[in-house]
């Protein structure tokens, strides 16, 4: 396998050198030369106007995947409830299954989850595989992986989708590794290549600066994770069908599901809500807040909007608020309907964690703060003036109604 530049057609225009993120291209005697830093990412191939660069010698086995059919979605449970991302994926899976003209199934694993899992039928599900046992009351990666592997190997879906929750991001790679297939993390776009009937998986890399479309070659199922809130959950016209014959209860032999992980303790921060990825509204504070006591103002605003408080890395590193609230590349990636950034300048690592929010409001006293580059609404002003006034205004409305 090698990457080659066609010396006949290359004009040494420098475009490829400019896009290469790995310092792998030099222009020597007016021609591009690719060195050993190359990671075969293909960015130069994409940008070359003369089609002078190609990867050769990649073995393409033609494997027969005709026994794999259908789209399958993992319904991850949080306690006895199926997390919303599962339903979002059922909606997305429906579209993909229709394009391929195949069935859409889902697999739910957990304890006392049947009632919640049934909701998935409202989003267009054909078949539900249900593994409901007290063995699965805690998130023990290894036995969940085993359960999912059993379902996938038995029913052989061609596509398998799961939520990129923190549990999903550790569990699903394990599943892919056992099945010996590819996995694409954190997809923001899924499409079917109608001709080849394969899944095109698009995801951001480099903190959202680049999008890459990825395919799974030589293995099935084609597996992808998708972050919560990225896909839209959409109920389909009332499905009056009797769910009963569309549920398959999978009995497991409990003694085969003994985890190697011993869960000793679970702590939730009871006084504050730290599951910020789960909310439609996030009010975040940064360095401009100046201290931990000022976060109470943001908590009040968040409360009025039925949201939750987030923070920039600067605020967390200063010890004003705990790490689980941190939004950004080193913290959590969020995409709520509304994100209000208060006194956050907008370092690139923060933007990477929130720029896909539906609506972003930035309040900052520096008109040149980078946060305004991603915001939909900007207020140049003092957060200590603006935020309390906004709280007052919202409270008035609440009183009037």
Interface of this chain with another protein, residues 53 to 92, rule: CB under 8 A: 55, 58-59, 78
The torsion angles phi and psi of 195, rounded to 5 degrees, stand at -70, -50
Residue located via tokens 């008109």: 367
Least distance in Å: CB of 317 to another protein?
9
Six token digits for residue 219: 């293995």
Q: Which of residues 27, 118, 252, 394 is near another protein by CB under 8 A?
A: 394
75 touches 151 (CB < 8 A):
no
Least distance in Å: CB of 240 to another protein?
30
For residue 74, what is the DSSP state?
Answer: E
Per-residue string for binding with another protein, 162-201, x by CB under 8 A?
A: ---xxx-xxx-xx-xxx-xxxxxxx-------------xx
Q: Which of residues 93, 157, 208, 288 is near another protein by CB under 8 A?
A: 208
357 binds another protein (CB under 8 A): no
Is-cis flag, bond preceding 199, omega within 30?
no
Residue 130 or 198 with smaller CB distance to another protein? 198
For residue 7, what is the DSSP state?
Answer: T
Applying the rule CB under 8 A, the residues between 215 and 244 that interact with another protein are 215-219
Least distance in Å: CB of 248 to another protein?
27
Least distance in Å: CB of 183 to another protein?
6
Least distance in Å: CB of 241 to another protein?
33
Applying the rule CB under 8 A, the residues between 319 and 348 that interact with another protein are 323-324, 329-330, 332, 337-338, 347-348
Applying the rule CB under 8 A, the residues between 273 and 302 that interact with another protein are 273-278, 281
50 binds another protein (CB under 8 A): no
Residue 59 or 244 with smaller CB distance to another protein? 59
Distance CA 284, CA 307 (A): 10
Applying the rule CB under 8 A, the residues between 359 and 388 that interact with another protein are 359, 361, 372-382, 385-386
**Region near another protein per CB under 8 A, out of 4-12, 43-51, 123-131, 286-294:** 43-51
Least distance in Å: CB of 378 to another protein?
5
Residue 121 or 312 with smaller CB distance to another protein? 312
Residue 21 or 236 with smaller CB distance to another protein? 21
**b/e sequence 55-65, b meaning 16+ C-beta within 10 Å:** eeeeeeeeeeb
Residue 112 or 213 with smaller CB distance to another protein? 213
Cα separations in angstroms, 50 against 7, 31, 247, 372: 11, 13, 54, 38
Residue located via tokens 């408080």: 309
Cα separations in angstroms, 220 against 19, 64, 190: 32, 10, 16
72 touches 155 (CB < 8 A):
yes
Distance CA 28, CA 366 (A): 45
Residue 244 or 260 with smaller CB distance to another protein? 260
Residue 96 or 143 with smaller CB distance to another protein? 143
Q: CA angle, corner 70, sides to 101 and 197, nearest 5?
A: 60
Q: Which of residues 194, 240, 244, 397 is near another protein by CB under 8 A?
A: 397
Contacts with another protein by CB under 8 A: the residue count is 112
Least distance in Å: CB of 289 to another protein?
17
Applying the rule CB under 8 A, the residues between 104 and 163 that interact with another protein are 139, 141-142, 145
Distance CA 74, CA 90 (A): 9
The torsion angles phi and psi of 166, rounded to 5 degrees, stand at -65, -35
Q: Residues with Cβ < 8 Å from 9, sequence gap 6 or more?
A: 50, 51, 52
For residue 236, what is the DSSP state?
Answer: P
Beta strands 81-82; 71-78: pairing state: antiparallel
Distance CA 291, CA 268 (A): 24
Q: Which of residues 64, 237, 264, 400 is near another protein by CB under 8 A?
A: 264
Q: Which of residues 209, 256, 292, 296 is near another protein by CB under 8 A?
A: 209
Beta strands 377-380; 359-364: pairing state: parallel
Question: Concatenated DSSP letters for 79-138?
Answer: TTEE-HHHHHHHHHHHHHHHHHT--EEEEEEESS-HHHHHGGGGGT-SEEEEEE-GGGSS
Least distance in Å: CB of 336 to another protein?
10
Least distance in Å: CB of 127 to another protein?
26
33 binds another protein (CB under 8 A): no
């Amino acid at each position: 396998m090698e990457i080659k530049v066609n010396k006949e057609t290359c004009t040494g225009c420098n475009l490829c050198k400019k896009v290469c993120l790995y310092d792998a291209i030099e222009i020597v005697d007016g021609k591009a030369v690719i060195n050993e830093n190359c990671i075969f990412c293909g960015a130069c191939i994409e940008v070359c106007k003369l089609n002078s660069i190609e990867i050769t010698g990649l073995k393409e086995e033609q494997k027969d995947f005709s026994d794999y059919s259908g789209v399958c979605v993992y319904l991850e449970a949080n306690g006895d409830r199926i997390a919303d991302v599962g339903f979002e994926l059922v909606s997305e899976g429906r579209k993909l299954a229709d394009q391929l003209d195949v069935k859409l199934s889902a697999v739910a694993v957990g304890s006392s989850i049947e009632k919640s899992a049934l909701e998935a039928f409202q989003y267009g599900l054909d078949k539900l595989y249900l593994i409901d046992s007290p063995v699965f009351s805690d998130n023990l990666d290894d036995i969940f992986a085993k359960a999912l592997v059993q379902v996938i190997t038995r029913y052989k879906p061609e596509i398998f989708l799961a939520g990129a929750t923190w549990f999903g991001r550790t569990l699903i790679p394990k599943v892919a590794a056992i099945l010996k297939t590819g996995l694409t993390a954190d997809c923001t776009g899924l499409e079917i290549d109608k001709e080849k009937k394969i899944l095109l998986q698009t995801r951001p890399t480099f903190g959202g600066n680049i999008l890459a479309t990825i395919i799974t070659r030589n293995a099935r199922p084609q597996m992808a994770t998708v972050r919560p809130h990225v896909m839209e959950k959409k109920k389909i016209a009332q499905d009056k069908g009797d769910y009963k014959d569309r549920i398959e209860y999978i009995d497991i032999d409990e003694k085969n599901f003994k985890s190697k992980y011993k869960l000793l303790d679970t702590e939730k921060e009871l006084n504050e809500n730290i599951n910020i990825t789960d909310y439609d509204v996030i009010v975040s504070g940064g360095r401009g807040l100046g201290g931990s006591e000022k976060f109470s103002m943001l908590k009040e605003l968040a409360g009025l909007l039925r949201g939750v408080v987030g923070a920039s890395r600067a605020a967390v590193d200063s010890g004003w608020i705990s790490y689980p609230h941190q939004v950004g590349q080193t913290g959590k990636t969020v995409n709520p309907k509304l994100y209000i950034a208060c006194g956050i300048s907008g370092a690139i690592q923060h933007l990477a964690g929130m720029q896909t929010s539906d609506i972003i409001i930035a309040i900052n006293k520096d008109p040149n703060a980078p946060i305004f580059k991603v915001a939909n609404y900007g207020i140049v002003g003092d957060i200590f003036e603006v935020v309390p006034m906004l709280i007052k205004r919202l409270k008035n409305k609440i009183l009037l109604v």
